[in-house]
Amino acid sequence: MTTARQLFSGFDLRQNDRQPLYAALKRHIAEAVEQGRLKEGDFVPSERDVADLLQVSRVTVRKAFANLAAEGILSQRRGSGTMVRRPAKRFEESMSRLTSFTEDMRLRGLQTSAEWLGRAASLPSPEEAMKLSLSPNDNVLRFSRLRRANDLPLAIEISAVPAHWLPGLEAVDTSLYEALQKVGARPVRAMQRLHAIALPSDKASLLHVATGAPALFIERVGYLASGAAVEYTRSWFRGDSYDFVAELVTVPEAS
């Protein structure tokens, strides 16, 4: 087993004082896994050893471990310690997975909160009807939220869900995907497109930026395994605070 001293030799936890301690610790461990200093199946030093060596509280170490476990990098088993589960993935890779805003932010170690801008049951707009393959008389539930990460307003999202998928407007608390999951209707596939826009004044003021500031406008249609469309979400992400990264691979030519 790698000792705490080996794992953290030369490491200065406080070198970046704008980063919370647990995040710096988490990053260091993730890098050790990425660089192969910690391998799949290796045990990591105990919370107590790390806390003693680095002179931080066990809560800090626990938070770093819990975040790494949530990302699937470590696995924690009561009584038997914490081990490396798989090579660390970079955050960016998560962009090719179908994750929710709440999950995305959790993976980055950020706290999310949502401010409700509105929720309503109504007939679909022509655009919503098209994207969700609804007839003009079907109902949708529409959820509008200002989404924050560590209190920074990051995105405005307007989601429309065919009304029959959710028990009602109150079904969504903090996470739409959690609510859909509960009723077995979480999307398993999505089509997404994005383009750059200049924010109009109403959206700019919600996002605390100047009118005309750049943003990413993203549309997502989420589908169930049956092929039914279950969400149509439009998001306006602040251009200065969010990166979308996609991993591209060569597809072998069909013979």
Q: How far is the CB of 125 from ligand 16G (least distance, A)?
A: 17
Spatial separation of the C-alpha atoms in residues 180 and 165, rounded to whole Å: 8
> How would you label 27-61 residue by residue, b for 16+ Cβ within 10 Å and e otherwise?
bbbbebbeeeebeeeeebbbbebbbebbebeeebb
Using CB under 6 A as the binding criterion, the count of chain residues that bind ligand 16G stands at 14
Going by their DSSP bridges, the two strands 189-198 and 152-162 should be labelled as unpaired
Which of 148, 231, 238, 239 contacts ligand 16G by CB under 6 A? 231
Q: How far is the CB of 109 from ligand 16G (least distance, A)?
A: 16
Only one of the segments 5-13, 29-37, 43-51, 96-104 lies at the binding site for ligand 16G (rule: CB under 6 A); that segment is 96-104
Phi/psi for 145 (5° steps) reads: -140, 145
Nearest to ligand 16G of 63, 220 (CB atom): 220
Nearest to ligand 16G of 207, 218 (CB atom): 218
Task: Verify binding: residue 140, ligand 16G, rule CB under 6 A.
Answer: no
Going by their DSSP bridges, the two strands 229-238 and 214-223 should be labelled as antiparallel
Task: Verify binding: residue 23, ligand 16G, rule CB under 6 A.
Answer: no
Give residues 175-214 in contact with ligand 16G (rule: CB under 6 A).
175-178
Q: In angstroms, what CA-CA distances link 141 with 36, 129, 160?
A: 48, 12, 6
> How would you label 134-160 residue by residue, b for 16+ Cβ within 10 Å and e otherwise?
beeeeebbbbbbbbbbeeebbbbbbbb
Task: Verify binding: residue 101, ligand 16G, rule CB under 6 A.
Answer: yes
Q: How far is the CB of 100 from ligand 16G (least distance, A)?
A: 3
Q: How far is the CB of 160 from ligand 16G (least distance, A)?
A: 10
- CB of 244 closer than 8 Å to CB of 217: no
Task: Verify binding: residue 65, ligand 16G, rule CB under 6 A.
Answer: no
User: Contact positions toward ligand 16G, by CB under 6 A?
Assistant: 100-102, 157, 159, 175-178, 218, 220, 231, 233, 235
